[in-house]
Structure 1
Amino acid sequence: MNAPSNRRQFLKTTSNGFGYLAFAALAQQQALRAGSPLAPKNPHLQPRAKHVIFLCMQGAPSHVDLLDYKPKLTADDGKSAPALAGRYGQAKLMGSPWKFNRHGKSGLWISELLPSLAKHADDLCVINSMTTDVPAHPQAFTQLHTGTTQFVRPSLGSWALYGLGTQNENLPGFITINPPANATRSYGSAFLPAIYQGTKIGGNSLPGGGAFARRYNGAAEETSIANVKNDRYSLDTQRTQLDLVQALNQSRMAADGGTSAEVEGVIESYELAFRMQAEVPKVLDLSQETDATKDLYGIGNDNTDTFGKQCLMARKLLEAGVRFIEITHGNWDQHFNLKTALQRNCDAIDTPVAGLLQDLKQRGLLKDTLVIWGGEFGRTPHSQGDDGRDHNNKGFTLWMAGGGVKGGMNYGKTDEYGYEAEENKMHIHDWHATVLHLLGLDHEKLTYRYAGRDFRLTDVYGTVASEIMA
């Protein structure tokens, strides 16, 4: 970066912020030349996708009610499941209360709960053979994001940003919208430099999350990153203050021998936060979107308004160059009240997700964007009580679209009831390896040296599912 005097010269160019924008543009060029940790990097392989939008359904959606059609389960509804008697007592099979139909030229079976998504059947690669290690939410949710159930490890988004860098130096490369309050590992960078961790927008235990729980009125302030604005000091004063702090950081790093991943991460994070002040309000402001676009995402409808805004915001962040965007939608843990609660969840996300796919496609963005939908595991084919399903980690469903995957296909399958994956099993490690491969990253080469060992997202496992790639 240039000397403080040069920074202030740009800041004083005008009084309405254009001087700062000029400085930000110059700062971006300088950062790229200086080898910033966020600068774009060459992938290991020819990438099929440049961006990821991960639609994370926290709580584990029921695959046998949504995307894994089991006519045998329907036929045997109410029959006992003797193999489960030791654990569940008199567990009974429960056929799906909803009808499945074939959709698209591909004829994918999709539940009537997802009528809007069904219109995009030929874009979907539906993986019916997902597996994970532990049927408990905290561990499985952590493994979905980091590859491990126990240890503090970098998240998938952090690894992607570390491996590829970002395309906009004035925005975070990894943004998480509405993350659960107790799941910071899902967007943490662990031992990677702090600059690679996810930046949170909104987020608490409510389905809408934080600022999204309020009605959007067109003002960017209603849906923004916490503390991105400084109402106390001008940009010039902030720059002077930051120069002092960064000088102290540089002195500390020099005293430690000239290199410190922790201090470097702090320095980069402070600089990014300063640059974000000009970019974030513009990107997060949805007021300039057309009514047709808002209708496409279900904005203005009580059921779909919140998630629709989040999906539209994801598209805008994507267009601005953000590498990895995750949106979390909670409360898919239906141990009881399945018929009402699952219907409500699907009503909230079906139109926005379909709108996102259509919007990306018509803008020519889907081919370079990997869209992912899924949760940490699935649900049991037998009932829990009269109207619920228990956890199932041995077989569940996740779908992907765009970003180089084949559309209109099922990959893998579970047994005739949906209990366990039995063909083309895809463990979380395999899925991580496949996602990285689509981004042009070799999961065995994407490593980081820490505590005397080269760590990677997939540990010592992972097989790329080349069969799903277009």
Structure 2
Amino acid sequence: MHHHDEEFRVHTPEFDQLHKKLDRRRFLTKTSLGLGALAMGSLFGIDKLHGSGSRQAPAPGNMEEEILKALPHIAPKAKRVVYLFMSGGPSQFETFDYKPGLIKLAGQNLPDSVRKGQRLTGMSANQSALPMVPSIYNFSQHGKNQTWVSELLPYTAKVVDDLCIVKSIYSEAINHDPAITFFQTGNQLPGRPSIGSWVSYGLGSDNNNLPTFIVLVSKNAPKDQPLYARLWGNGFLESRHQGVQFRSGKDPVLFLNNPEGYDGSDRKEMLQYLSQLNQLQNDSYGDPEINNRIAQYEMAFRMQTSVPEVMDTSDEPDEIFDLYGPDSRDAGSYAANCILARKLLEKDVKFVQLYHQGWDQHGGLPKGIAQQCKNTDQATGALIMDLKRRGLLDDTLVIWGGEFGRTVYSQGKLTADDYGRDHHPRCFTMWMAGAGVKAGVSYGETDDFSYNIVKNPVHVHDFHATLMYLMGVDHERLTYKFQGRRFRLTDVHGNVVKDILA
């Protein structure tokens, strides 16, 4: 639909009357700055308002437009991203950061020389002792480079040659909400645009029938820590850049379906009327959000056809459901969302974000993390294999990780087969796979207690800078002016981790 098309121009008495009213308002508000300016002109002389000449200087060029024209800054490796966010903070000890030396130190107090006075959370700061605890799960070596992987992740172990495992990620945030907000927006305080929104703003869409940035949240996960829609919000960017959550059930996108009893046959005509009303309002007020509203109504109209198609997995062969695991037939589960993510990536959706909650194990960690891995591991490995055999992994970046890691010491109860771990932002593990990153490698090292980084630290800002680089964006050059200063995803920090680039 094109709201400027004359063939759709409405000529009714009501529209004509409204147009005249808006014309009158526009004249009064835009002619010499309105009635107030006319009064000022009569008092001081019109040349005092406009300068010595009557012609005003042309408005300077729109810097945002110039910034966007320069993109991509470099040849992109990744056309699209799927980010598997493990909300709650998975323990690196039970997944990828193998520390066999802890077995002989079990029960001993964490040495002060290791802790170095670092901040603890309020949940363990009052403990009389910080007894260290090794993982009760075994590790074994996999792949060409004999990478250590926990027995809890047998399917991820099968694709380890495709992974770039980074063991030296660190953050300042020690509590969930600021830590997740930091990972998703580059700032611990709410209000900044999310990564997917920055990508949408900078790079636009490759599919006009689906949103650029789509969010999926697992229904089969413990809701130990809440997720807020602002984590995929647009912040101060235009509203069309916000993430759109797709849900399981009959309404995958809220308010998209037609109301009951309405067949939608005149929906296009109704939207043409609405678009014209919005265009009249835009001509009068010049608010850029009006154009966003027009674009979003038109996108919603197209999505009424595209969303049911992409959400329908009934034509997937049994082999695909077997690959992703038994939960993959249960719409809204993590495994089903992984299949849906692959379908969205095939449709060239640029940024797909999956959230899986439940990794916050302060107590009962062995049982809790085993269940979390059981719910996610097979589908995660399957997604890598599926993308690879379809030729999509070459230009798709896959990311896995949470907001921080866990402590080497046990929080609270400690027995031979039961323990918990507190939050630990000083070092933890993430991995990336696919477009532009080295495959089958581990990067960065932690000390014998996985408490401090001893080699190749990677800050959250560095991770963001590298992600943007792989998509062809110089993170220092993609900015947006808001409240008098220019903002970017990485604030005033961040370095591309070139050692992990293929």
Task: State the TM bucket, normalised to the shorter chain.
Answer: 0.7 to 0.9
Give per-residue Cα distances to partners, 1:34-61, cap 9 Å, x unaligned.
xx9xx99941111111110000000000
Q: 2:348 aligns with which of 321, 325, 339?
A: 321
- Residue number in structure 2 paired with 1:17: none
- Provide TM-score, normalisation by structure 1: 0.85
Is 1:432–2:482 an aligned residue pair? no
Paired amino acid for 2:439: G
Q: How does 1:149-168 map to 2 (within 5 A)?
A: 149-168=188-207
Alignment of 1:446 with 2:483, yes or no, is no
**What 5-or-longer segments of structure 1 have no aligned partner?**
9-35, 203-210, 212-220
Match of 2:252 in 1: 224
The equivalent of 2:75 in structure 1 is 46
Is 2:355 the partner of 1:355?
Answer: no
* Conserved? CA contact 1:304–1:348, under 8 Å: no
Distance 1:442 1:263 in 2: 30
Displacement of 1:234: 4.0
2:214 to 150, 175, 179: 175
What's the counterpart of residue 464 of structure 1? Answer: 496
> Post-superposition, which runs of at least 4 consecutive aligned residues in structure 1 deviate over 3 A?
2-8, 39-42, 84-88, 179-182, 231-236, 299-305
How far apart are 1:64 and its partner, in Å?
1.3
Matching residue's letter, 1:81:
L
AA paired with 1:44? H
- Whether the 8 Å contact between 1:304 and 1:349 is mirrored in structure 2 is no
Q: In the TM superposition, what is the alpha-carbon distance from 1:240 to its structure 2 partner? A: 2.5
Cα offset for 1:134? Answer: 1.3
Provide closer, same or farther for how the CA distance between residues 2 and 262 of structure 1 changes in structure 2, counting only shifts above 3 A. closer
Letter of the 1:227 partner, please give it.
F
Is the contact made by 1:304 and 1:347 (CA closer than 8 Å) also made in structure 2? no
The structure-2 alpha-carbon separation of the partners of 1:417 and 1:51, relative to structure 1 and needing over 3 Å to count, comes to same
Q: CA deviation at 1:223?
A: 6.9
Name the aligned partner's letter for residue 491 of structure 2: D
Q: For residues 233 and 223 of structure 1, what CA distance do their matches in structure 2 show?
A: 16
Match of residue 234, structure 2, among 174, 189, 196: 189
Preserved contact between residue 131 and residue 409 of structure 2 (Cα < 8 Å): yes
Query: Partner residue of 2:424?
Result: 392
**Worse overlay, 443-452 or 355-364:** 443-452
Q: 2:110 aligns with which of 68, 75, 81?
A: 81
Please say if 1:107 is aligned against 2:136. Answer: no
Partner residue of 1:298?
Answer: 325
Q: Is the 8 A contact 1:166 1:323 kept in 2?
A: yes
State, as a whole percentage, how many aligned pairs show the same letter.
42
Q: Of the candidates 158, 163, 166, which is equivalent to residue 127 of structure 1?
A: 166
Residues 1-26 of structure 1 deviation map (CA, whole Å, 9 limit, x = unaligned)? 16678679xxxxxxxxxxxxxxxxxx
Distance (whole Å) between structure 2 residues aligned to residue 356 and residue 194 of structure 1: 30
Question: Relative to structure 1, is the Cα distance of residues 113 and 148 closer, same or farther in structure 2, using a 3 angstrom cutoff?
Answer: same
Superposition map of 1:197-276 within 5 A: 197-202=242-247, 211=248, 222=250, 224-231=252-259, 232-256=261-285, 258=286, 260-276=287-303
Task: Kindly state the Cα deviation for residue 421 of structure 1 after the two structures are TM-superposed.
Answer: 2.1
C-alpha contact (below 8 Å) 2:109/2:131 kept by paired residues:
yes
**In the alignment, which residue of structure 1 is the partner of 2:316?**
289
Answer whether contact 1:61 1:378 (CA < 8 A) is retained.
Answer: yes
Query: What SS does structure 1 have at the residue aligned with 2:240?
Result: helix
- Verify the 8 A CA contact 1:396 1:421 in the aligned structure 2: no
Count of aligned pairs between the two proteins? 422
Deviation at 1:245, TM superposition (A): 2.4
CA distance in 2 between counterparts of 1:130 and 1:95 reads 21
Matching residue's letter, 1:382: Y
Q: CA RMSD in A?
A: 2.4
1:137 counterpart = 2:169: no
6 and 122 in structure 1: CA distance in 2 versus 1, 3 angstrom threshold: farther
